[in-house]
Amino acid sequence: MTILLKVFTLLGGLAFFLYGMDVMSKGLSKLAGGSLERALKKTTSNRFMAMGLGAGITIAIQSSSAMTVMLVGLVNSGIMTLRQTIGVIMGSNIGTTLTPWIFSLSGVEGDGLIALLKPANFSPLVAFIGILLVMMSKSERRKDIGKILLGFAVLMFGMTLMGDSMSGLEDSDVFEQILDVFKNPIIGVLFGAVFTGIIQSSAASVSMLQNLAKTGQVSYAVAVPIIMGQNIGTCVTALISSIGVSKNAKKVSVVHISFNLIGTLVCLILFYSADAIIGLSFMDKPIDAFGIALVHTIFNIFTTTILVPFVNQLEKIANLVIHPSKNDVQGAFLDERLLNTPSVAVSEANAMTGKMANIAKEAILSSLTLLDTYSDKVADEVTKQEDELDKFEDKLGSFLAQLSSRSLSERDSREISKLLHTIGDFERLGDHSVQVYKCAEEIHQKKIAFSEKAVEEINTMTAAIREIVDMTARAFIDHDTALAQRVEPLEQVIDVLAARSKRNHIERVQNGKCTIQMGFVLSDLLANYKRISDHCSNIAVAVIESEEGNFDAHQYLNEVKESGSHNFAEYHKEYCTKYGI
């Protein structure tokens, strides 16, 4: 019965540990926000910069597995190349060495301030501070910090439970016999790899080994091969995450596996060759939690150091294992694996919406050229762009809906709200580009010739539409609120231009200078121009709302029109002068 209770305690401790690690990892990732994605995008062919980023991000999110899954998703979405990920993967292995050092403090003995270094002693205070922040703070950022602290406390409680479950093993002959089996390096490596692969957490695996070491029965001969095997076991998560992705994305997991396998093989040969030749005196000595952290760090840094010069060879291995073919599955528009790190997913969804903005702008500008010189080729291109915008809206809408259900920072929530509001407006701009080209097609086919004054008015409005569309796209892509504040004043000017043109056309019809048939085409064109400027206004308001926060769109529009705030009056006067009002 005692043995059964110890097993239950071990499993419960492992559960608390993994849950605490998950809470802490998600909290850290959320707190980091878009900085994770921005850091990854800075990754270049410079392998040392990539290594530094990999180590830093792994420390930030406390999970090399999450880091690798993120890389698979980024490559599958075409955001990163395989070569860029290799240095990041190497750095990620170094980043994992911090966690065992924190756990090694559990073996600290002493009184007073020394005792406070022991996680089991200070984690209750950490938990108390964490719950106060979660329950009493109004700031989302402070609440996130509170969740990180609670996650750490739960993690340390799980580690304490695992340690308690192993008490008494130091007096067990059976336990000693079992450990003797692991002195065989092959068995030790296999056990470390399989166990880590099953629980999918090298941090938990290393922690359990550190708790076992407290019995005094674990020697360096037992621990070293298990630690090497644990690095191989972390590859299981990457292997699972590569199911159903493009061949290029599969290569990320191949690189990860190759790196750890080669590193382990080289270290095994060098380490046991040295033991056979000169005899390593410490092999049969008991190892403690500090020693495990030290071995883990030396192994990962040494492995990375010897393989850094062979980035090209690791890429060639991946290309040999995964052969390219004509029927390769294309990468995902936005890979769902990115949802595991919401801040990265939000940033990439923003980047995709930026592409949508450029397509919408090009579609409008292309359609406007057809009013001067009609071309079937350009018209077909506008139709294709409109179809592409429909697909963008559908895929982005689905991705953002899934992302909205995740735990998000206040900033990311505002960003998603902006994207959900704007993708529909960009899609509608595509619809209006088609309507404008149909107006141009009707003018071309029916050989409609407007009066000189009507042409002048249309050209003025067309110039204003070009400006507002270009300005809106740039404001969105660059998150430029100052530029976005210029959109509404120009939208108001376009409304006045449209009303003036319609009024002048009626006068020309009454004077016999224009026909009713011309009026139908002109009315359609003016209606589309007004709708285009309306959608630009919606997008600009969403940009300002996202950047400023605590912002009411209707209130903003009313204020700028009535009080002239946000430089509305100044900009409105500027555009009135520019477009002859």
Q: pLDDT per residue over 149-183, tens digit each?
A: 888 888 778 777 776 776 666 556 666 677 778 78
Q: Assess whether 214 and 346 both reside in one domain.
A: no
Q: Assess whether 201 and 236 both reside in one domain.
A: yes
Which span out of 267-271, 321-325, 346-350, 403-407 was modeled with the highest average pLDDT? Answer: 267-271
Tell me, yes or no, whether 328 lies in a domain: no
| Whether the predicted pLDDT of 94 surpasses 80 | yes
Label residue 101 exposed, middle or buried (CB < 10 Å: 0-12, 13-18, 19+).
middle
pLDDT level of residue 490 (50, 70, 90 thresholds): very high
Q: Assess whether 61 and 102 both reside in one domain.
A: yes
Please enumerate in sequence order all residues whose Cβ is within 8 A of that of 223, keeping only pairs 6 or more positions apart, or say none: 209, 213, 287, 291, 292, 295
Tell me, yes or no, whether 442 lies in a domain: yes
- Cα of first residue to Cα of last residue in the chain, in angstroms, is 91
Tell me, yes or no, whether 239 lies in a domain: yes
Q: Assess whether 418 and 464 both reside in one domain.
A: yes
Q: Assess whether 384 and 501 both reside in one domain.
A: yes
Q: Assess whether 309 and 345 both reside in one domain.
A: no
Q: What is the rounded CA–CA span in Å between residue 351 and residue 16?
A: 37
Range name among 32-36, 166-170, 507-511 with the lowest pLDDT average: 32-36
Tell me, yes or no, whether 326 lies in a domain: no
Q: What is the rounded CA–CA span in Å between residue 529 and residue 500?
A: 13
DSSP, residue by residue, 465-533: HHHHHHHHHHHHHTT-HHHHTTHHHHHHHHHHHHHHHHHHHHHHHHTTSS-HHHHHHHHHHHHHHHHHH
Q: Assess whether 176 and 298 both reside in one domain.
A: yes
pLDDT for res 122: 72
Please enumerate in sequence order all residues whose Cβ is within 8 A of that of 121, keeping only pairs 6 or more positions apart, or say none: 115
Instruction: Let me know the angle formed at the C-alpha of 72 by 66 and 74, rounded to the nearest 5 degrees.
Output: 100
Helix (H, G, I), strand (E, B) or coil at 168: coil
| Of 192, 116, 126, residue with least CA distance to 157 | 126
pLDDT for res 144: 79
Tell me, yes or no, whether 131 lies in a domain: yes
Q: Assess whether 302 and 268 both reside in one domain.
A: yes
- The range of the structural domain enclosing residue 208 comes to 2-321
The CATH number given to whatever domain includes residue 556 is: 1.20.58.220
Q: How many structural domains compose the chain?
A: 2
pLDDT for res 7: 74
474 with 483: CB under 8 angstroms?
Answer: yes
**What values do phi and psi take at 433, rounded to 5?**
-65, -40
Q: Assess whether 63 and 210 both reside in one domain.
A: yes
Residue ending a domain, among 287, 321, 355, is 321
Residue ending a domain, among 292, 321, 350, is 321
Residue ending a domain, among 278, 293, 321, is 321
Tell me, yes or no, whether 305 lies in a domain: yes
Rounded to an integer, the average pLDDT of 506-535 is 79
Q: Assess whether 404 and 494 both reside in one domain.
A: yes
| Whether the predicted pLDDT of 564 surpasses 60 | no
Q: What is the rounded CA–CA span in Å between residue 129 and residue 149?
A: 8
**What values do phi and psi take at 496, rounded to 5?**
-65, -40
| Whether the predicted pLDDT of 542 surpasses 90 | no
Please enumerate in sequence order all residues whose Cβ is within 8 A of that of 342, keeping only pairs 6 or more positions apart, or say none: 29, 30, 403, 406, 407, 408, 412
Q: Which two tokens stand for residue 305?
A: 């150091």
Tell me, yes or no, whether 331 lies in a domain: no
Q: What is the rounded CA–CA span in Å between residue 442 and residue 436?
A: 10
pLDDT level of residue 528 (50, 70, 90 thresholds): very high
Range name among 312-321, 405-414, 551-560 with the lowest pLDDT average: 551-560
Q: pLDDT per residue over 205-229, tens digit each?
A: 888 888 888 878 888 888 889 998 8
Q: Assess whether 312 and 351 both reside in one domain.
A: no
Range name among 26-40, 102-116, 129-143, 521-535 with the lowest pLDDT average: 102-116
pLDDT level of residue 13 (50, 70, 90 thresholds): confident
Q: What is the rounded CA–CA span in Å between residue 65 and residue 73?
A: 12
Tell me, yes or no, whether 202 lies in a domain: yes
Q: Assess whether 165 and 133 both reside in one domain.
A: yes
Choose between 434 and 96: higher pLDDT.
434
Q: What is the rounded CA–CA span in Å between residue 243 and residue 157?
A: 34
Rounded to an integer, the average pLDDT of 443-466 is 85
Range name among 84-88, 166-170, 236-240, 438-442 with the lowest pLDDT average: 166-170
pLDDT for res 1: 44
pLDDT for res 458: 87
pLDDT for res 424: 93
Choose between 147 and 182: higher pLDDT.
147
| Percent of the chain whose pLDDT exceeds 90 | 17
